Structure 1
Amino acid sequence: MKRRLWCLLLILSMVLMVGCNIDGKKQETTKKTEDLDEATLRGMAKDITKEMSLKNKIGQLFMVSVYSLDEGETKEQIRVTEQMKATLKKYPVGGIVMYSKNMKNAKQTKKMIQDFQKISYITLFIATDEEGGSVARVSSNKEMGVIHYPTANEIGKTYSSKQITQMGKNQSQQLKRLGFNMNFAPVADVLTNKNNTEVGDRCFGSNASDVADIISNLVKSMQKQQISAVLKHFPGSGDTWGDTHRGKTDTDQTIQHLRKRDFKPFKSGISADVDAVMVSHLMLCNVTDEKEPSTLSHRVVTDILRNELEYDHLIITDAMNMRAITDDYSSAEATLKALEAGVDMIVMPENLKKSYEAVWKAVKSGKVKESRINESVERVIYVKLKRGEIPPDTKLLKDNQ
């Protein structure tokens, strides 16, 4: 009996030691990532991109919903189906967006995310919208174990800087524990139109400087937990009357007006080294020559965000299945126009197959240079390296697909 007890204790101690080593290795990987400078990480991203096939590079340009991976699955999509596996093999996307309907409880969500990662050639961005208030895909379900925070408007009015820092930390730690590595937050819009129906109480306030301080605070506290923050909705939707979810929306703001107010929180987030900026479908009638959504505008994406604001990390679109896009553009057309504008990742195209194949054909025909695709893929890989999703000491990924 004693001998059996000693054996059990020995086995238990070995298990505990292994567990400690695993945790230690994860912490060591994160520490190594933090120790590497930007130039080194960008060099690594460039090397990895060189090793990738065109198929995999094009895949990295897309972030899709769970539904688009298995459109025949009519029930709650809370598990990885065979069809999802087949779709990911054919179209190896760079990220997946999860909604409340995909999350039954914490255990199921964690397993589903792990299953997605296991079948992906390169680690996926697993993103969600966890702002607080009414846009809280995860914390709206008490089974998820994520604190539900009030609206941004209430937070802006009542929370101290210390409380905001703690919120960013707590929320991000809890999301990370579930397997998420990207949050479509914080909202950097400045609410100047009280009748705004698109963002409303999702904004932290109407004073640009105050909002800018909150944005900087949240970006830093979120990304310290290795969750990529995403500023939205550039160039700023707080002054609009319409809603891009429902159709065309424009604003008569001038570039001077935007620089004076709406750009401030975005510049603050960029100074805080935010991983990604989401561009809105808002049309800037007095800024661009063409009457097109900002997501499809070279003037907005490249001339202003990339060059004027000197932002060199990920630029992603708002959901491309919104009516502001689908009412006037096919999925393929919108995707190509966004890439031509300078966007790096297409979020939720209306039709993944048509969008993916449009890019493939454009590259093969010479309409889009592969070097242009490489630029965006390098930014995607850079962020994944930076957040420890791809270990910094890994050997170059062997592309055998």
Structure 2
Amino acid sequence: MMSDRNVTKYCKRFLALCIVTGLLFTTTGCSVFGPKQKPYKTYKPSVSETPVASEQPVVNLSEEQAGEFARRYLAKMTTEQKVAQLFVVKLEELDGSQGGYYEFRKCTKGMKTTLSQIPVGGVVLFSRNISTRKKTSKLIQRLQVNSQTPLFVTVDEEGGSVARIASNKKMKTTKFPTAESIGKTKDGEYVYNMGRTIAREIRALGFNVNFAPVADVKTSDLNTEIGERSFGSDPGKVSDMVAAFVQGSQERGVCATLKHFPGQGSSDGDTHQGSVDIDSSISKLRDLDFVPFKAGIDAGAEFVMVSHISVSRVTETKEPASMSELIMKTILREELGFSGIVITDAFDMASITDNYTPGEAALQSFMAGADIILMPSDLTQAYQAILNAVNSKKITQSRLDESVIRILTTKFKHGILTQEDLTVWEQPTATPSVTPAVTVSPKAKKGKKNRESAKTIKKSTKNKSKK
């Protein structure tokens, strides 16, 4: 028999689901997005492309073939390996010896050790990790070599001020203007070629996921978090440019990411600094904020990044969108029809860390529908929380497999994982085991203790692999 508290909880959830479901049928015509959604425009290259050094052929397997390979790969994975794929982390979470912020530009022994303990799904690099083309390529290569399963190597390369690579002149990549100025002076064809150019140039360095384009419609001049990163205030124009960027990027082998769902262009706060609630109704979201996301989804975007804003008028709670089943499952999956990877915004932002422990945040987000947790403030705690929930059957294996299949399918589809990787993985003695993760946070390890721990783990891994 349920307690009064649980009854109240489930009643509220049921009421919220009923409200959203009911509203699906109250909008004009067949579309739930207010004005009828127009098909996105398709583009073809209109300019000759200068060959990029080290450029490899673009791989695009069919969804069916990639899915078959993913299921075969999954069948050989341990629960620990599956859970680890749910995380994309900054380098400081792989090597905490220098604190939470450090200019790592090479793959260290600490990183190799952590990758053997928690073989994460991917890494994110920032400007501080990027110095020269040669060093950046080598860093990525070494991270990949030391990863059991090939990594998503991600970066924020939007153009304008958020360009981790192009902002460094030594990287010799194309510098683009802000999205805001592009929205005022350029067209979809320009943005399509921009997406292609960025993708070709960063892929040559080893990146395979770009956290772009920004799909937020900027409707508030008080918005400082999005600001000039948005293509503008017209949802139709923003949609055209978002779809164009997605096409250009993915044609050149780099997965595009629509951000920041459900749309935070109307916010007047900053989730980096604290909790933010937007005063938007479901009808306003459909008529305005969802429109570019739907265009990007239709254009084939592989990732959608979910924001930490709350939308209390829709969810009837102040919980972040990145922890809301209503936002991620009911709206993004069911209403907008997104079948790709749902990734959260960074979990080291104050809007998360002020209110949740790393374990609580990761577990709640995954249970609500996220596939990948981006940048937990403590990887060990976040990983252990989900692993414990799976082992205790609070999370079913089928729920875990659902997300891991999406991740692996995307990796196979874009050549991050290959058929050769699968062949090696399926060999009876080839699949590496996972060294149990230490219970102490990597950030707590310093000096001699850290070196001794690393030696012990390395020795354990070596002995285990011989078996």
Under a length normalisation based on structure 1, what TM-score does the superposition of the two structures give?
0.91
Letter in 2 for 1:123: P
- 1:272 matched to 2:291? The reply is no
Partner of 1:282: 309
Letter in 1 for 2:153: I
Partner of 1:48: 73
Give the superposed CA RMSD: 1.4
- Identify which of 121, 129, 142 aligns with 2:156: 129
- Identify which of 246, 249, 253 aligns with 1:226: 253
- 1:400 matched to 2:425? The reply is no
CA displacement, residues 118-157 of structure 1 (integer Å, 9 cap, x when unaligned): 0111110000101111111111110111111111101111
Give the alignment of 1:48-127 within 5 angstroms.
Answer: 48-73=73-98, 76-127=103-154
Partner of 2:284: 257
1:316 match: secondary structure: strand
1:149 match: secondary structure: coil
- 1:344 matched to 2:371? The reply is yes
Give the alignment of 1:24-39 within 5 angstroms.
Answer: 27=57, 30=58, 33-34=59-60, 36-39=61-64
1:45: how far off?
1.3
Aligned counterparts of 2:187 and 2:301: Cα–Cα separation in 1: 22
Aligned counterparts of 1:210 and 1:305: Cα–Cα separation in 2: 21
1:317: how far off?
0.2
Give the alignment of 1:366-381 within 5 angstroms.
Answer: 366-381=393-408
1:392: how far off?
4.0
Do the aligned residues in 2 keep the contact of 1:219 with 1:274 (CA within 8 Å)? yes
Aligned counterparts of 1:245 and 1:44: Cα–Cα separation in 2: 38
Letter in 1 for 2:242: I
Do the aligned residues in 2 keep the contact of 1:183 with 1:227 (CA within 8 Å)? yes
Aligned counterparts of 2:187 and 2:299: Cα–Cα separation in 1: 19
1:170: how far off?
1.1
Aligned counterparts of 2:193 and 2:259: Cα–Cα separation in 1: 21
- 1:354 matched to 2:386? The reply is no
1:222 match: secondary structure: helix
Partner of 1:17: none
Partner of 2:196: 169
1:205: how far off?
0.6
Aligned counterparts of 1:163 and 1:295: Cα–Cα separation in 2: 32
1:396: how far off?
6.4
- Identify which of 308, 311, 335 aligns with 2:338: 311
- Identify which of 191, 209, 217 aligns with 1:182: 209
CA displacement, residues 20-60 of structure 1 (integer Å, 9 cap, x when unaligned): xxx99x53xx4xx53x4322322221221121111111110
1:400: how far off?
2.7
Partner of 1:385: 412
Aligned counterparts of 1:312 and 1:290: Cα–Cα separation in 2: 26
Partner of 1:203: 230
Aligned counterparts of 2:129 and 2:66: Cα–Cα separation in 1: 33
Do the aligned residues in 2 keep the contact of 1:230 with 1:278 (CA within 8 Å)? yes
1:160: how far off?
2.7
Following superposition, which runs of at least 4 residues in structure 1 exceed 6 angstroms of deviation?
Answer: none
1:165 match: secondary structure: helix
Aligned counterparts of 1:165 and 1:252: Cα–Cα separation in 2: 33
Do the aligned residues in 1 keep the contact of 2:306 with 2:344 (CA within 8 Å)? yes
CA displacement, residues 238-262 of structure 1 (integer Å, 9 cap, x when unaligned): 0011110000000110111101110
CA displacement, residues 318-358 of structure 1 (integer Å, 9 cap, x when unaligned): 00010111111110000000011100000000100000111
Letter in 2 for 1:196: N
Do the aligned residues in 2 keep the contact of 1:48 with 1:396 (CA within 8 Å)? no
Do the aligned residues in 1 keep the contact of 2:274 with 2:354 (CA within 8 Å)? yes
CA displacement, residues 203-236 of structure 1 (integer Å, 9 cap, x when unaligned): 0010000000001100000001110100000000
Partner of 2:9: none
Unaligned 5+ segments in structure 2 are: 1-53, 434-467
Do the aligned residues in 1 keep the contact of 2:274 with 2:350 (CA within 8 Å)? yes
- Identify which of 150, 159, 162 aligns with 2:186: 159
Letter in 1 for 2:292: P
1:42 match: secondary structure: helix
Letter in 1 for 2:115: L
How much identity, in percent, do the aligned residues show?
42
2:342 match: secondary structure: strand
Aligned counterparts of 1:166 and 1:302: Cα–Cα separation in 2: 33
Aligned counterparts of 1:57 and 1:89: Cα–Cα separation in 2: 13
